[in-house]
Amino acid sequence: MNPRTLVRAEGAVVAAAATVTYALDGRSLLVFLAVILLPDASMAGYLHSRRVGAITYNAVHTYVGPVVLAAVGVLTGTGLAVGIALIWTAHIGADRLFGYGLKYADREFGDTHVQRL
């Protein structure tokens, strides 16, 4: 299997696992639907420049943020933080499934790390 297919399959598994975990924990579908596209607000950085857009988009579209948020939520007993982390993780996984990847500051928006695989 080529790397692009693997990244997309990985995204599907991550999105499904995060979504199922969220649902099995009895969390609100309305909150899920309200928050699932929120990470894409990071594209607003492109209104300033490609460089700023790539930085803001990439900062929100890596698994580092949701993993840290989930850890904080678990350690502090804050269920909302864990729920938001699961939605955020599902978003990133779905992006990878559909071929959206991290952006390059010196390239067009659609030229991502997934496209280069």
Domain extent, residue 10, equals 3-97
pTM of the model: 0.93
Question: Is residue 28 a part of any domain in this protein?
Answer: yes
Query: How many domains would you assign to the chain?
Result: 1
Question: Is residue 18 a part of any domain in this protein?
Answer: yes
Question: Is residue 113 a part of any domain in this protein?
Answer: no
Query: Taking the mean position of all CA atoms in its chain, how far away is CA 20?
Result: 16
First to last CA, the chain: 12
Per-residue pLDDT of the chain (117 residues; tens, 9 = 90+): 899 899 999 999 999 999 999 999 999 999 999 999 999 999 999 999 999 999 999 999 999 999 999 999 999 999 999 999 999 999 999 999 999 999 998 888 778 887 766
Question: Is residue 32 a part of any domain in this protein?
Answer: yes
Query: Taking the mean position of all CA atoms in its chain, how far away is CA 102?
Result: 10
Question: Is residue 107 a part of any domain in this protein?
Answer: no
Question: Is residue 117 a part of any domain in this protein?
Answer: no
Q: Contact, 92 vs 66, CB < 8 A?
A: yes
Q: Contact, 64 vs 70, CB < 8 A?
A: no
- Listed residue (41, 81, 52) closest to 65, CA to CA: 81
Question: Is residue 110 a part of any domain in this protein?
Answer: no
Question: Is residue 102 a part of any domain in this protein?
Answer: no
